[in-house]
Amino acid sequence: MSQKNSQKTDLPFDVTQAVVSEALEQYIKQSTTVDSEVLNQKAPESIAKQLKVEELFHKGFQNTNQIKDFVNTYLEHTNHLKNPRYMGHQVAVPHDLSGIPDWIHGTINNPSSLYEMGPAGATLEGFMINWMLQQLGWFKGNDLTDFSRIEPNGSGILTHGGSVANLTALSAARAFAAPEAWEEGSPDDLVVLGPSTSHYSIVRALSIMGMGKKSFVPVPVDENEVIITSALEESYSQIKKEKKRVMAVVANACATSTGLFDPLDEMADFCEKNKLWFHVDGAHGAVALLSPKHKHKVKGIERADSIIWDAHKMMKVPSLCTAVLFKEQKNMWNCFRQKGSYVFHENEVVGMDSMPFTVECTKSALGTKLFWSFALEGEKGIVDFVENSFEQAKELYTYLKSNKNFFCPYPPQSNILCFQYKPETIDDQQQLALRYALINSGAFYITSCVIQGKRYLRTVLMNPLSNQEDFKALVKSIEQHAATLEQK
Ligand SMILES: Cc1ncc(COP(=O)(O)O)c(C=O)c1O
């Protein structure tokens, strides 16, 4: 068969991919050693210059050596999540071979939202959704390759990230409470109840939906920012007095800042009693479901009407990949009441389209990435990873507790841990200064958050290589930077 070449620049496939593959292999080797820098942030002007952005943009790559230089320079200016001293944001530290599905997708570009545009990707999405539904007891088919939409099954789709997922789930909640909203706009009397510490994407979604920030009614939280369930009743009475209707009750599983879980079972009781839609934001912590050791932390999650679950946080999937899951499949079908004549012709298609149920029209092969993560390590490998991450946070907690200069406000329930150094003498701004000192040294990457008005240092332990030695080094480094700060 003769081959046509549709490209202008004739870069050889085999040499080019070998150059990139070699650079990535080197990157992995280097960044997994603790004496390499986690992050060395340079100004964008400097990075653009080193990457020869202007020249490459105008002239394009002329040969594979230019690609090699570009990739190596690019990799140098990255946050090295694979470094054991990366303890930062809720972003997966992927398996070394996790990039392969993105590479395949980038080569073939089969969006998985329309079955006929990517049958393999759509099949893997269907399989992974069935698996997730099964974890919740919402899959009643015979096996996970049974894609028929049988009545007792729940339903779900994969989408680009937790924020879009929350928007999708809340849209479904509105379609349930006020089906007329799709045509006529949101009624004024709808509100959403949730912990005051709900992720900002909840309020953002409500504003996007035209309901305004005012439609979110924050429920009081305790000193560690976990919802006070008894306060739900009070908030609900007030809402009813104001002649408003609750469109959904939102729970954190777990909270972004602290990693603590709201009491889902109690919240489910409240929702069941009052016949309210229960939405669990399990972006980070829904994975606790997979572990016999940690499952109790999400007890009641299966009583939710909708759940979001980020695979790019705790399932080693490179960003982005989030599931939106519904206990009742009709709620997904009713979510977006819109038809595009060129895409939606459900009776004629083979397989299944997810497009009618997503904010996105075109979407990436998300199911392939998620499936690949499991295929690389096996189902048990992912569960072990979750358990190990939770254990790492416990280890760090125990170690910090043994040092009187550190204050941890609560024992961790997940792999997120917040703490302060000498809170009696080091104020909020200095706590933050400590974070920047650590980051700027290149030795560690940690984050920070505010809990009940006080600034904390925050670690999210996602790297399987982080161990006791790294925790000791972290403490030592904080002590050293604090001593310098105190001298100033
Ligand atoms: C509880 C919670 N919900 C939603 C999100 C948003 O997810 P994403 O970053 O995938 O948009 C986050 C992100 O950290 C989160 O922690």
How far apart are the C-alpha atoms of 302 and 219, rounded to whole Å? 22
- Nearest residue to 218 (alpha-carbon basis) of 205, 200, 241, 243: 200
Ligand 1 atom nearest to CA at 310: 10
Structure-block tokens of residue 151: 């009545």
The pTM of the full predicted model, rounded to 2 decimals, is: 0.96
Q: What is the pLDDT of residue 80?
A: 97
Ligand 1 atom nearest 198 alpha carbon: 1
User: Pick the residue with more confidence: 277 or 6?
Assistant: 277
What residue owns the CA closest to ligand 1's atom 4?
Answer: 162
| Contacts of 292 by beta carbon, 8 Å cutoff, 6+ apart | none
Measured in Å, residue 383 CA sits from the centre of ligand 1 at 21
What distance in Å separates the CA atoms of residue 386 and residue 13, rounded to the nearest whole number? 37
Please report, for the chain, how many H helices and E strands are present, in that order: 16, 12
Residue nearest atom 6 in ligand 1 by C-alpha distance: 162
Order of strands across the sheet with 406-407? Answer: 86-87, 445-451, 454-460, 416-421, 406-407
Which amino acid makes up residue 35? D
Q: Which ligand 1 atom sits closest to the C-alpha of 166?
A: 4
Confidence of residue 350 (pLDDT cuts 50, 70, 90): confident
CA–CA distance from 290 to each of 101, 136, 455 (Å)? 24, 10, 32
The residue whose two tokens read 């870069």 is: 11
Probe residue for ligand 1, chosen from 167, 310, 449 as the CB with the greatest number of ligand atoms within 8 Å: 310
CA 92 – CA 110 distance, rounded (Å): 24
Q: Which of 159, 197, 208, 313 to mutate to test ligand 1, by most ligand atoms within 8 A of the CB atom? A: 313
d(CA 68, CA 223): 52
* Locus of tokens 């809402």: 239
pLDDT in tens, 356-385: 899 999 999 999 999 999 999 999 999 999
Residue 40: what pLDDT? 95
User: Once rounded to an integer, what is the mean pLDDT over residues 261-265?
Assistant: 98
User: At 337, is the pLDDT very low, low, confident or very high (cuts 50, 70, 90)?
Assistant: confident
Residues near ligand 1 with C-beta < 6 Å?
A: 90, 161-163, 166, 199, 201, 252, 256, 281, 283-284, 310, 322
Distance CA 463, CA 85 (A): 8
CA 68 to ligand 1 center in whole angstroms:
35
Q: How far is the CA of 195 from the centre of ligand 1 (A)?
A: 15
Contact between 251 and 194 (Cβ < 8 Å): yes
Q: Measured from the CA of 322, which atom of ligand 1 is nearest? A: 10
Q: Worst-scoring range by mean pLDDT, 74-78, 147-151, 177-181, 320-324?
A: 147-151
386-437 tens-digit pLDDT: 999 999 999 999 999 999 999 999 999 999 999 999 999 999 999 999 999 9
**What does the pLDDT average to over 161-180?**
97
Q: What architecture does CATH give domain 107-374?
A: 3-Layer(aba) Sandwich (3.40)
For the chain, what is the radius of gyration of the CA atoms?
24
Q: Is the pLDDT of residue 450 over 70?
A: yes
Atom of ligand 1 nearest to the CA of 254: 1
In degrees to the nearest 10, what's the CA dihedral of 206, 338, 136, 285? -30
Report the C-alpha gap between 360 and 123 in whole angstroms.
Answer: 18
What is the model's pLDDT at position 340? 58
319 CA: nearest ligand 1 atom: 10
Q: How far is the centre of ligand 1, averaged over its atoms, from the C-alpha of 420 (Å)?
A: 24
Q: At what angle do helices 162-177 and 200-208 cross, to 10 degrees?
A: 50
Domain ranges of the chain: 13-80, 107-374, 380-487
**In 4-63, which ranges are continuous DSSP H helix?**
13-31, 44-50, 53-59
The predicted pLDDT at position 21 comes to 97
Report CA(283)–ligand 1 centroid distance (Å): 6
DSSP line for 145-200: T-----TT--EEEEES-HHHHHHHHHHHHHHHH-TTHHHH---TTEEEEEETT--H
Q: Please state the atom number of ligand 1 nearest to the C-alpha of residue 161.
A: 10
In this predicted structure, the answer to whether residue 349 has a pLDDT above a threshold of 70 is no
The best mutation among 202, 279, 284, 298 to test binding of ligand 1, ranked by most ligand atoms within 8 Å of the C-beta, falls on 284
Give CATH for domain 380-487: 3.90.1150.170
Q: What mean pLDDT comes out for the span 225-244?
A: 97
177-233 per-position pLDDT tens digit: 999 999 999 999 999 999 999 999 999 999 999 999 999 999 999 999 999 999 999
- Average pLDDT over the chain reads 95
Query: For residue 488, what pLDDT is reported?
Result: 73
Q: Report yes or no: 373 and 317 within 8 Å, Cβ to Cβ.
A: yes
Q: How far is the CA of 406 from the centre of ligand 1 (A)?
A: 28
pLDDT of residue 487: 80
CA of 480 to the centre of ligand 1 (A): 33
95/102 Cα distance (integer angstroms): 13
Dump pLDDT digits (tens) for 292-317. Answer: 999 999 999 999 999 999 999 999 99
Average pLDDT estimate for 461-484: 96
Average pLDDT over residues 427-450: 97
- pLDDT at res. 9: 67
How much is the pLDDT for 1? Answer: 55
- Output the CA–CA distances (angstroms, integers) from residue 107 to 96, 129, 285, 380, 443, in the order listed: 19, 25, 33, 30, 36
Residue with tokens 């979407």: 363
What confidence tier does 106 reach under pLDDT thresholds 50, 70, 90? very high
Nearest CA owner, ligand 1 atom 7: 162
What is the pLDDT, as a whole number, of residue 10? 78
CATH topology agreement for domains 107-374 and 380-487: no
Ligand 1 atom closest to residue 163's alpha carbon, by position in its atom list? 11
Report how far residue 128's alpha carbon sits from residue 205's, in angstroms, rounded to the nearest whole number.
26
> Which residues are CB-neighbours of 440 under 8 A, at least 6 positions away?
41
Q: What is the pLDDT of residue 149?
A: 83
